Amino acid sequence: MPPDKKHINEEGSLIRFSLHQRIQHIILLSSMIILALTGLTLKFHENTVAQFIIKIEGGIAARGIIHRIAAVVLMLLSTYHIINILFTQKGHSEFLALRPQFKDFSDFYKTIKFNLGISNEKAEFDRFDFRQKIQYWGVLIGSLIMIITGFILWFETQSMAIMPKWIIDVTGIIHSYQGFLIFLILFLWHMYNVHLNPNVFPMNKTWLTGRISTRDLKENHLLEYKKLISEGIINSEEGK
Amino acid sequence: MKYKILFLSIIILLFSLFLTTGILNAMDDETCMKCHQSGLLSKTLKSGAKKSLFIDLNSLRKSVHKSVPCIGCHKNAKDYPHEKDPGSKCESCHEIQQKEYSNSAHGRLYIAKDPDVPGCSTCHGSHNIISSKNSDSPTFPLNLIKVCLSCHADERIERRHKLPGAEVIKAYEKSVHGMAATRLGLTVSAICNDCHGSHDIRPADDPRSLRNKINIPIICARCHPSIYDKYKESVHGKAIQAGIAEAPVCTDCHGEHTIYIATDPKSRIAPKNIPKTCSSCHEEKSIIGKFNLPGRRLETYEASYHGIVNKYGRAVAANCTSCHGFHDIRPSNDKKSSIHPEKLPETCGKCHPGVTKMVAQGKIHIEKSSEQDIKSTYYITVIYSIIEKFLSFFVAGYIIIDLIGRFRERKMKKLILILFFGILSISGNAYSLTLTDCLKCHQDQKMVKNIININEFRQSIHKNLNCTDCHKDIKKIPHEVKIENALCFPCHDKEINDYKTSVHGRQYIKGDKDVPSCRDCHGRHDIKKVKDSESKVSEKNIPKTCSTCHESANITGRFGLATKRLQTYEDSYHGIANKFGKPVVANCASCHGFHDIRPSKDPESSINPSNLPATCGKCHPGAGENFAKGKIHIEATKESAIGVYIVRKFYTYFIGFLMIIFLTYMTLDFIGYRKRKGRS
């Protein structure tokens, strides 16, 4: 849903993340960090750093409890998120804006060509560019897999009663690798895009303020910018 | 005549009376005590110590032998006064024990007159022997430990007879048996003689000896019969009964003198230690091969959740014994086995109640990398590791390209290049060979000659490095058989530069293999910190390390080096003090330098006469130039150190001369004394 006029303040920035979305994001990131710290230490249990972290967490038993608490938080959040995108208009329109399109692949191709200096044509992005879509879908699908496999492993006794052991073994392997994949997406891809990228370094503040300046909007989301101008929500002078 | 006969018969009567009473009465106990109650009677032992021959009548009267007369034991003491050592003979009454003893490890040596071994009295006492049921007796179970330890805690005896050592034997006192006996006073606990025997302690080569593995379960079974019943039906027990010596007996898992209760973290059968204990055989390639056992049991266990959690000390996690049992371990095809597929629901159900037969559909020890074993886990692992690699390359590649684009926008071409090659080199290293890859071959004697001692490496200072960090020219497996030396250069460039200018380095560059390179002094995979006393270049070990070449006749001859460097150093105060571990004393490197060793002719050498005041001045500040006037390694030949040579020669002859004078004088004086005495 495009923002209306009241979202724009005097400094020429407009709201991109509502408070409600920012709270979701903070809950998500804290649960993800805790899950990564408690989960990956188990995957890499032979590593000295991992052993040290397990010690800080209060031993191998406490590690499991913390992991499950964070997992419950993530599950509640995921449920809430799915209800939100299914049943609220804003959530649903944002979700639709995130759906993968053919344009994303051509955008990716264009971006690579531009970055390598092969062409001077920059890709034009709508509300969400392909980088953000990879993050969203990677984490969404990854989390769903993690939640399902996590449940099987959490209630391993009950699981073993109804399914062969090899399924549980496979589940364990999936949980371990999938967790690492989410870690890669979040800590390489996402960290780079919102922190280490020279354009936003040290940090893209949108996750705290919820705002994006019209200049950034024009640079990174040109199609949305144009749409907002044509709808008369922002002036063409803004963003210069 | 009549009187004469009477007189003669009286004399004969008296004489025979005297004779009989002489035999009967001369050596009754009272007669013995006439002398042996006197505190003055003593004899001199071989060692020179005096031993009183006083006999304590009170303790004798309490002893089990109170009704036995003295000559009952001391059969040789027939006359009075009797020969010096009448000896005591126990075997005339204790025939069985004597027979056992004379065949025992102690007895054989005793017959060979070894002074270290115990005779009867060493353990039982002499005149004060009381029943072993009496708690004051030295052979009372709780006291016997001390009696045995009085010899076996003596390091000298242990070493002389190649016994395991005092520490090993003393460990018994802290074991579960030792604690029960000494702390709680439980006489039913196993004391030394319960396992080792008492009179019949067997020598190692005897088939009935405790050292003979097959006997051990039977010995333990004396107190633990129900456990033995289970054990003898187990795969290990059956093997032992069939005479297969590799199979474990009680002590292989529980220890011998070090048996602890299973909940004690020191115990070999504590949950945390069990995987290690079982692996001492089940990871041993010769045993696995001989009995066709499945390999990689420890590795797969340690990779499982049970293994990880157990390693962190959570005793609730399953260890080897939780599934396989302990005394009654059976192979999985045995229907009574706890890991027989039909029994698995019950076995797993101990911790996971309600599991069904489906748990048997799948492996427990999952070898992820083996295709034949478990297809499902193998393929999922392969798929995920491909995705993982693809994604990390994709993300890393995208980031690099994106950074190039961002800098292109800002026209920072140099930064692009730096960044590009920087990231390329980092990502190149990240996917190099790991230690485990290398060890796949370098731990297997069949595959390569060069076996890496991984334990040494793990204790070395480079334990956190990867193989390829030093062996940079190895990029893939298999690599060429001949590889270049490990390159120390990238990290230790300062040291290498010093070395290149040294007498060793210059020769090494010429391709001479007789001079030392880094690894000859520092070691290879086992390099330790210099301060570590085990390091080859620690203060104490340096003389030894240098001497491997400098005391070798081949090398000193070839290069015309000065000889006897070690001997002269060790004779000096520096050498002696260093040998006894005094840390602030000069060793080879203190004067000669280490990486930058140069010959003394070189004006830059630390041992060039012009530099000696500074070199010696490091420890003896203000030493001044006088230090250069004289040799350091004092060999005292005429040519090298004329001063020391003359003084030493002078004193040698002078002392010899003086000795001759003294001896002559004393001899003459002695002769004179005899003469003077004779005259008076």
CA-wise closest residue to B464 among B504, B428, B446, B491:
B491
| Range 52-81 of A in CB contact (< 8 A) with B | 54, 59-61
Q: What is the pLDDT of residue B22?
A: 47
- Is the minimum CB–CB distance between A233 and chain B shorter than 8 Å? no
- Is the minimum CB–CB distance between B365 and chain A shorter than 8 Å? no
Nearest neighbour of A170 by CB, restricted to B308, B377, B388: B377
- Is the minimum CB–CB distance between B311 and chain A shorter than 8 Å? yes
Residues of B in contact with A181 (CB under 8 A): 384, 387-388, 391
Nearest neighbour of B408 by CB, restricted to A42, A117, A165: A117
Q: What is the pLDDT of residue B638?
A: 67
Q: What is the pLDDT of residue A151?
A: 92
- Is the minimum CB–CB distance between B359 and chain A shorter than 8 Å? yes
Q: What is the pLDDT of residue B419?
A: 67
Q: Which residues of chain B have pLDDT under 70?
A: 1-2, 13-27, 39-40, 45-48, 80, 83-87, 204-205, 210-211, 368-374, 411-433, 480-487, 490, 582-583, 623-630, 634-641, 676-680
- Within 13 Å, how many C-alpha atoms sit on residue A202's CB side? 0
Q: What is the pLDDT of residue A222?
A: 84
CB atoms within 10 A of CB A74: 21
Q: What is the pLDDT of residue B649?
A: 78
Judged by CB atoms closer than 8 Å, whether chains meet at B362 and A181 is answered as no
Residues of B in contact with A188 (CB under 8 A): 392, 395-396, 399
| Range 500-519 of B in CB contact (< 8 A) with A | none
Question: Residue B542: which H helix or E strand, with range?
Answer: helix B542-550
Phi then psi dihedrals of residue A212, to 5 deg: -130, 135
CA-wise closest residue to B231 among B213, B242, B252, B217:
B217
| Range 163-192 of A in CB contact (< 8 A) with B | 163-170, 172-174, 177-178, 180-181, 184-185, 188-189, 192
CB B257 within 8 Å of CB B165: no
Copy the structure tokens of residue A135: 């993050």
CA distances, B343 to each of A26, B305, B307 (Å):
49, 22, 22
Optimal mutation site among A53, A109, A177, interface B, most CBs of chain B within 10 A: A177
CA of A157 vs chain B CAs: smallest distance (Å) = 5
Query: Which residue of chain B is at minimal alpha-carbon distance from A47?
Result: B464
CA distances, B257 to each of A51, B191, B224, B252, B602 (Å):
34, 10, 17, 12, 62
**3-class SS letters over B490-534:** CCCHHHHHHHHHCHHHHHHHCCCCCCCCHHHHHCCCCCCCCCCCC
Judged by CB atoms closer than 8 Å, whether chains meet at A115 and B402 is answered as yes
- Is the minimum CB–CB distance between B308 and chain A shorter than 8 Å? yes
**What one-letter code names the amino acid at B578?**
N
Radius of gyration of chain B (CA): 40
The Cα diameter of chain B in Å comes to 160
Question: Residue B150: which H helix or E strand, with range?
Answer: helix B141-152
pLDDT digits (tens, 9 = 90+) for B473-490: 777 777 766 555 556 776
Residues of B in contact with A198 (CB under 8 A): 403, 406-407, 410
How high is the ipTM of this complex?
0.80
**What one-letter code names the amino acid at B6?**
L
pLDDT digits (tens, 9 = 90+) for B181-238: 888 888 888 888 888 888 888 776 677 776 678 888 888 998 999 999 999 999 999 9
Number of A/B CB contacts below 8 angstroms equals 123
CA distances, B533 to each of B110, B480, B505, B586 (Å):
43, 36, 26, 16
Judged by CB atoms closer than 8 Å, whether chains meet at A115 and B358 is answered as no
CA of B471 vs chain A CAs: smallest distance (Å) = 23
Q: What is the pLDDT of residue B376?
A: 77
Find the length of chain B.
680
**pLDDT per residue of chain A (240 residues) written in tens, 0 to 9:** 444 444 555 556 788 888 889 999 999 999 999 999 999 888 888 788 888 888 888 888 888 899 999 999 999 999 999 999 999 998 899 999 999 999 999 998 888 888 887 888 888 888 898 888 988 998 999 999 999 999 999 988 888 888 888 888 888 888 988 898 888 888 778 888 888 777 777 788 888 888 888 888 888 888 888 888 888 777 765 444
Copy the structure tokens of residue A140: 């969404």
CB atoms within 10 A of CB B109: 16
Residues of B in contact with A172 (CB under 8 A): 305
CA of B254 vs chain A CAs: smallest distance (Å) = 28
Nearest neighbour of A173 by CB, restricted to B309, B377, B406: B377
B44: β partners = B50
Judged by CB atoms closer than 8 Å, whether chains meet at A170 and B376 is answered as yes
Judged by CB atoms closer than 8 Å, whether chains meet at A60 and B377 is answered as no
Hey, which bits of B287-410 come out as E strands?
Answer: none
Transcribe B558-572 into DSSP letters. HHT----HHHHHHHS
- How would you class A4 by CB atoms within 10 Å of its CB: exposed for 0-12, middle for 13-18, buried for 19 or more? exposed
* Whole-structure pTM value: 0.60
Question: Residue B573: which H helix or E strand, with range?
Answer: helix B573-579
Copy the structure tokens of residue A148: 């399902």
Copy the structure tokens of residue B126: 């002499």
Nearest neighbour of B356 by CB, restricted to A111, A117, A161: A161
- Is the minimum CB–CB distance between B398 and chain A shorter than 8 Å? yes
- Is the minimum CB–CB distance between A82 and chain B shorter than 8 Å? no
Provide the b/e sequence for A149-166 (b: ≥16 CB within 10 Å): bbebeeebeebbbebbbb
CA of A164 vs chain B CAs: smallest distance (Å) = 4
CB A195 within 8 Å of CB A202: yes
Judged by CB atoms closer than 8 Å, whether chains meet at A192 and B402 is answered as yes
**What one-letter code names the amino acid at B491?**
C
Nearest neighbour of B308 by CB, restricted to A42, A112, A188: A42
Judged by CB atoms closer than 8 Å, whether chains meet at B358 and A61 is answered as no
Optimal mutation site among B347, B359, B383, interface A, most CBs of chain A within 10 A: B359
Q: What is the pLDDT of residue B372?
A: 56
- Say how far apart CA B439 and CA B459 lie, in whole Å: 16
